Structure 1
Amino acid sequence: TGYESVCYNAFNLPPMEHYDYIIVGGGTAGCPLAATLSKHFKVLLLERGGLGKNGHNIEQQESFVSNLVHADDPDSPAQTFISEEGVVNARGRVLGGSSKINAGFYSRAGVGYVREAGWDEALVNRSYSWVERAVVSRPVLKQWQGAFRNGLCEGGVKPDNGFTLDHVEGTKIGGSTFDQFGRRHSSADLLQYANKDNLKVGLHATVHRILFHHPKQVQYRLQSSRRRAYGVEYTDAYGIIHRATLSTSKGEVIISSGALGSPQLLLLSGIGPAEQLDILGIP
C-alpha cells in the first residue's frame, strides 16, 4: 500500500513517547494532515481501528453494502450509531475512516463555501490536485446509474454538466474513489506522501483522555490563561495504558475523530457544557 511500513499495533508502542504533533483519528482529515505535517515534524497518528483486513473486503466496490450490513461485528471496519432523530447510520472504524466504508462519491467544495470560510483559494485548488492524484477516478457508469442521470435531466435538473469534479448546479457525473477495477481508494492512500522517517501510525489505539497543563504548571510562557494540551492517554487492544506527549511548546494535539468522536473525546477530557460533565461525574 505504500504506508503499511509506518503502521504499528498500539500494543507494540512504548508506554511513553514524545512527538511534535499528535493526531487523534486516522480518518478522512487525520490521514492527509499527518502526511503533510510529517514533512517537517515528528508525528504520531492514533486510530482506534485497524487496516481493515480481518476478513472484511473493504477494498472492493461490490463489498460496500455487505460491510455496512455486518457493521456490528467486533472487528468490522464500520460501527453503527443512531441519531437523535432515530436514523440508523454507520461511521468508520478503520485507518481511512469513513472514506473506507462510504459509497465513494467525490466532489470539490463550492467556491462560495471556500470564500465564506476565508480560505486561500489557490491553496485549496492545489490541495484538490494533491488528493485527486491518489484517490479519485472518473467512474464508469452502470446501466442503472445512466438511467438515473437521464431521469434527472428529463425531470428538469439542468444543465447537464457531464463529468466534472466541481460543485455545480444541475446534473453531473462526479468523481469516484473506486478506480476502473472497482478497487477503493481512501484518505489512507494519502499517507504514501508522508515522510516515513517522521511518521508513526498507532492502530487499535483508543484515546480516552486529552492531557492538559494548568497554566500554573506550565514552565514555558503561554499566550493566555487557558489550559494547554500536552498529550493524550490511550489504550491498546489489550487494555494497556499508553501516553504520548508533546516534545516542544510549539507542538499541538489535533483532534480529528469525526463529528461523533471529537466531541465525545472532549467531554471525556472535561471540555464541554458543565451540566453534562456534572451528570457524568467528569471534573
Structure 2
Amino acid sequence: MATIITAVSNIANFAINPVTLAGIVPLIAVGMTVFQYSTFDPESHPINVKQILPEYDFVIIGGGSAGAVVANRLSEMSNWTVLLLEAGGDENEISDIPALSGYTQLSDLDWKYQTAPPGDSPYCLAMVGDQCNWPRGKVLGGSSVLNAMIYVRGNRHDYDNWEKMGNTGWSWENVLPYFLKSEDNRNPYLAKTPYHSTGGYLTVQEPPWHTPLAVAFLQAGMELGYENRDVNGEKQTGFMISQGTIRRGSRCSTAKAFLRPIRLRQNLHIAMFAQVTKLMINPQTKRVYGVKFARNKRFHKVRARKEVILSAGAIGSPQILMLSGIGPADHLQELGIPVLSDLKVGHNLQDHVGLGGLTFIVNAPITFQKNRFQTLSVGLEYIMNERGPLTTQGVEGLAFVNTKYANKSIDWPDMQFHFAPSSINSDGEQIKKITALRDRDYNTVYKPLKDAETWTILPLLLRPKSSGWIRLQSTNPFQYPIINPNYFTHKEDIDIITEGIRIAHAISNTSAFQRFGSRPHRIPFPGCRNFEWDTDEYWECCIRHFTFTIYHPTSTCKMGPDTDPDAVVDPRLRVYGVSGLRVIDASIMPNIVSGNTNAPTIMIGEKGSDMIKEDWMNNYGNEQIR
C-alpha cells in the first residue's frame, strides 16, 4: 500500500491536468508498476550517495544516455574509483510506462529548454513566443527517460563519412560492434541476424501491442514499392514496426539498463541533484583536475586523478565548457571569461526537424484514443501480463524513404517517417502544453478533431543543411544558454520536407488505408489561409508555423582531426588545448546521424569508455597538450 501511495503522490507532483487525473487506469498502472518491480525485478534503483569523497580517478558529468554507459564501463575496472554527477534525480513510476511518456515533459525530469525566437528565417510561428520547447532529460538516464524509446542506429554512410572526415576508427565497421555490445534483443527473428545481439545491458524489442493501423502502414509501404525490413539491419530504406528500448512492457532507460544492475559496486558513487557549474583547470598546465558543483544549496569541489568526462549532452556540455574558458575566444571575452582554449564550442548545432500535426482521419474506431483505453481491463492487462495499450511507444511504425532529392544509387534515404495511430488532439491540453502551440492555432485546427478517429505522420528531415549554435547568456551557470537552431536557413531543407509531406499523402491514398476511409485533415493554420491548400507555398508556411522536432540536438562539440578548424575534440574524444578532459555524448557527432539519436549516443558511450581503458592501460593518460 505504501508504494501505491507513493505512486499517487508522484502523479500529484507532476501537476497533470484534472482531465488526466480522472483516468483511473494510469493510477492503477503506476501503483502496480511499482509492485511489478518489487516482485519480479531484482534490480533496485541506484543509490544516491550522501558523502562524496574529495577525489576519484574519474569524474563523469551527466548520467544520461552516454554518461550512464561510461559510469558502468569504467567501474568495471575494480581498481578505478568513479563518481557520476547528475543534476536531476531518479526515474519514477510514470516515466516507466511507455504510453505516459508525454507526461514526463515539462515535469521536474525535464530541463525545459526553449529555442530563441527566430531571426530572418522564421520557424515555430504557431508556438507561444515563436519558441519551440526543447525537452532534455534532467534525470538519471537523461533523455532516455523522456523519449519515445525508438531504437534506430542511423545509416552506415553516416559513420563512413565520419571516418572520411578524418575521424579514424569511427566507420560503420568500427561502430557496429559497440551497438551489438549494448544490445539484448528479445525478438527472436531479429536476434538471430548478424545485426543484432543478445546478452547486453540494453533491452530492445518491438512493443507487444499495436493498432490495426500499424499493419496498414507496412502494407502501404509495400504498395509504394518499399520493403518491410529491419532498418537497423543491412539496409535502411524501408518500413518497419518500431523497435524500442522496452523491457517487459516498460521503459528501459540507460539508468535502468546500465546503472541498476551495478548499484552495489563499491568503486562507483552516484550523486544526484548535483549540478556542475565549472571545470577546475590549472591555467599554467591547462590540465583539468576536477569540477565544481552545486548540491543541497551549497557549492562543492571534487578532484579527478585521471580524467573528467563531460557527458552533459549537446546543450549542457558546451555550456559547461564555455563557462570554464573553453570556447570561442570572442564570445568568452565579451563575457569576461578568461580563454584557456579557443575552440568552436557551441557551433555546428544540428537537429532533425519536420512538420508537426500532419493528421489524417479514418472512419473506423481503431486509433489510439485516450478515453478508449482508460479502462479497468486495459489496466489489468498491463499489470498482469505486461501487455496491452499502455505498452505502446506512441510511434508504432518507422519508415526511411527517398524524396526526389535523395541519391537513390546508394541506400541513404533523406526522409524519416514516424507513424502514430493518434493525433495531436488525442490528449489535447497536454500536447498543446508540450508543443507550446498557441491557443489560436490549437482551437482552430486541432480542437475540432476532439471526437474524430485520426492518425499522424511526422516527416523528419534526416540531414539538414541548416545548422545553429549555442551561446552563453551570462556567466551564471544556472541561467540557460541561448539555443538558436537556425532552422530553414537553407531552402532545400523546406523542399525536402515538402516532398516528405507529399509521400505521406501517398501513404494515406493507398488501398491499405483507403479501406478505412483515410483522408487528410484540411483545416489550414490561421497564418497560412492566404495560400492554396497543398501548394508548395502552403506547406512551407505550415512547416514554418508548426515546426516540430523530436529533440535530437547534436554536434556542438564536433569531433575532428587537428587539421579541422571547427573540431572541439579529437577522434579519441579528448578536448583540444587541455588535458585530462573528454566529451562523450551526442555533441561530438561531426554530422547528425540519419535517424533517432539515442542508440548512437549509447554507442558513443560504449566506444568512448573503451578508448579511456585503452589509453590508460597503454600509459597514454599523461599525453602532452597538442
Name the residue aligned to 1:229: 288
Backbone CA RMSD of aligned residues: 2.4
**Which amino acid is 2:45 matched to?**
E
Q: Does 1:52 align with 2:80?
A: no
Q: Does 1:42 align with 2:86?
A: no
Q: CA deviation at 1:49?
A: 0.5
Pick aligned residue for 2:109 from 68, 77, 95: 77
For the 8 Å contact 2:113–2:133, the answer to whether it is kept is yes
Name the residue aligned to 1:244: 302
Q: Residues 212 and 3 (structure 1 numbering): CA distance in 2 closer, same or farther, change over 3 Å?
A: farther
Pick aligned residue for 1:135 from 203, 209, 215: 203
For the 8 Å contact 2:45–2:260, the answer to whether it is kept is no
**Which amino acid is 1:229 matched to?**
V
Q: Deviations over 1:148-183 (max 9, x none)?
A: 333333344x1221x4533611212342112342x1
Name the residue aligned to 2:331: 276
Measure the CA separation in 2 of the matches of 1:254 and 1:31.
Answer: 12
For the 8 Å contact 1:139–1:179, the answer to whether it is kept is no
SS in structure 2 opposite 1:168?
coil
Q: Does 1:13 align with 2:55?
A: no
Q: CA deviation at 1:81?
A: 1.8
For the 8 Å contact 2:88–2:274, the answer to whether it is kept is yes
Measure the CA separation in 2 of the matches of 1:148 and 1:64.
Answer: 23
Name the residue aligned to 1:256: 311
Measure the CA separation in 2 of the matches of 1:107 and 1:175.
Answer: 8
Measure the CA separation in 2 of the matches of 1:191 and 1:197.
Answer: 13
Structure of higher RCO (CA pairs closer than 8 Å, 6+ residues apart): 1
**Which amino acid is 1:275 matched to?**
D
Name the residue aligned to 1:169: 237
Pick aligned residue for 2:272 from 185, 198, 203: 203
- Note the residue ranges of structure 2 that are not aligned, 5 or more in a row: 1-41, 119-130, 164-168, 185-201, 339-626
Measure the CA separation in 2 of the matches of 1:93 and 1:211.
Answer: 23
SS in structure 1 opposite 2:246?
coil
Measure the CA separation in 2 of the matches of 1:265 and 1:3.
Answer: 31
For the 8 Å contact 1:44–1:199, the answer to whether it is kept is yes
Q: CA deviation at 1:264?
A: 0.6
For the 8 Å contact 2:218–2:228, the answer to whether it is kept is no
**Which amino acid is 1:132 matched to?**
E
TM-score (norm 2): 0.38
Measure the CA separation in 2 of the matches of 1:59 and 1:229.
Answer: 37
Q: Residues 147 and 17 (structure 1 numbering): CA distance in 2 closer, same or farther, change over 3 Å?
A: farther
For the 8 Å contact 1:49–1:94, the answer to whether it is kept is yes
Q: Does 1:191 align with 2:259?
A: yes
Q: Residues 147 and 78 (structure 1 numbering): CA distance in 2 closer, same or farther, change over 3 Å?
A: farther
Q: Residues 124 and 48 (structure 1 numbering): CA distance in 2 closer, same or farther, change over 3 Å?
A: same
Pick aligned residue for 2:102 from 39, 44, 65: 65
Q: Residues 145 and 83 (structure 1 numbering): CA distance in 2 closer, same or farther, change over 3 Å?
A: farther
- Note the residue ranges of structure 1 that are not aligned, 5 or more in a row: 217-226
Measure the CA separation in 2 of the matches of 1:91 and 1:147.
Answer: 33
Measure the CA separation in 2 of the matches of 1:19 and 1:28.
Answer: 22
Measure the CA separation in 1 of the matches of 2:328 and 2:231.
Answer: 43
Measure the CA separation in 1 of the matches of 2:246 and 2:147.
Answer: 11
Computing the radius of gyration over CA atoms, which structure comes out larger, 1 or 2? 2
**Which amino acid is 2:221 matched to?**
L
Q: Residues 38 and 123 (structure 1 numbering): CA distance in 2 closer, same or farther, change over 3 Å?
A: farther
SS in structure 2 opposite 1:112?
helix
SS in structure 2 opposite 1:79?
coil
Q: CA deviation at 1:4?
A: 3.3
Name the residue aligned to 2:228: 160
In proportion to residue count, which structure has more strand?
1
Q: Residues 141 and 20 (structure 1 numbering): CA distance in 2 closer, same or farther, change over 3 Å?
A: same
